[in-house]
A and B are shown apart, each in its own frame.
Chain A
Amino acid sequence: QSALTQPPSASGSPGQSVTISCIGTSSDIGGYNFVSWYQQHPGKVPKVMIYEVSQRPSGVPDRFFGSKSGNTASLTVSGLQAEDEADYYCSSYADNNNLVFGGGTKVTVL
């Protein structure tokens, strides 16, 4: 099972939007609606921001939006804030209670 493909970096100015792509295959993203996104600040534990493609856990701002088309999932962060600067990882269910992660995208708020 290969890792999902994410761009290594993305950036935007405060108030702008940034979209991160996550490319998989029909065996993971394309086969299941179980895509999740995690935010990780330096030295911290990852935190789930989106699950089941577009669901936000309680407490996650609605500035975070997830979507999926075919084998590609996306995370859009609108109204960028300084606190959004972090690494973001996508994940998908693969099979047999296994997940696969993307390589991570570093989001910089300019």
Chain B
Amino acid sequence: QLQLQESGPGLVKPSETLSLTCTVSGVSISSSNYYWGWIRQPPGKGLEWIGSIFYSGNNYSKPSHPSLKSRVTISVDTSKNQFSLRLNSVTAADTAVFYCAGVRRFADYVSSWGQGTLVTVSS
């Protein structure tokens, strides 16, 4: 059974870089059945797609907001069965619960979610 777990700092200072890692278990991250995504949810607000990556490293980061796209890097480490998110130049508006997700390929829905991790941007 596919499970995902986010890890990383819960507090990041403004202008610094937010870094999160998602550890995948139960399925190889090299599975051709999935691609791996990041989704965030600001407190009291809706879900926002950040971007995704396939195990081969194809990175299709395409956030909803153009300002987000230029600040996002997603990478994969197949040796550790992990993928990661880096979001640079953060502001308070980036405060959110960040979810990593397993997206079922060829059906394109999130079949598995991490538990979510709250990242607060504050000095």
* Chain A residues packing against B (C-beta within 8 Å): 1-3, 32, 34, 36, 38, 45-46, 48, 51-52, 55, 57, 87, 89, 91, 93-104
- Residue of chain B at shortest CB distance from A36: B109
Q: Is B89 an interface residue (CB 8 A)?
A: no
A43 to B76, CA, bound (A): 28
Total inter-chain residue pairs, C-beta < 8 Å:
78
- The majority secondary structure among interface residues of chain A is strand
Interface residues of B in 71-123 (CB under 8 A from A): 99, 103-105, 107-111, 113-116
24 A-B pairs whose Cβ atoms sit less than 8 Å apart in the complex: A1-B64, A3-B46, A3-B64, A34-B107, A34-B109, A36-B110, A45-B113, A45-B114, A48-B111, A51-B107, A51-B109, A51-B111, A57-B111, A87-B46, A91-B49, A94-B62, A95-B62, A96-B60, A97-B35, A97-B105, A98-B62, A99-B52, A99-B110, A104-B46
A100 to B108, CA, bound (A): 11
Contacts of B51 in A (CB 8 A): 98
The 6 closest A-B pairs by CB, nearest first: A36-B109, A51-B109, A93-B108, A34-B108, A104-B46, A96-B60
Knowing that A3-B64, A46-B113 touch, tell me 10 more A-B residue pairs with CB under 8 angstroms. Answer: A38-B47, A45-B99, A45-B113, A57-B111, A97-B60, A97-B105, A99-B49, A99-B52, A100-B49, A101-B39
Contacts of B104 in A (CB 8 A): 51
Interface residues in B, total, Cβ within 8 A = 27
* Chain B residues packing against A (C-beta within 8 Å): 35, 37, 39, 46-49, 51-52, 54, 58, 60, 62, 64, 99, 103-105, 107-111, 113-116
A46-B47 CB under 8 A given contacts A32-B108, A36-B109, A93-B108: yes
Q: Is the CB–CB distance between A91 and B109 below 8 Å?
A: yes
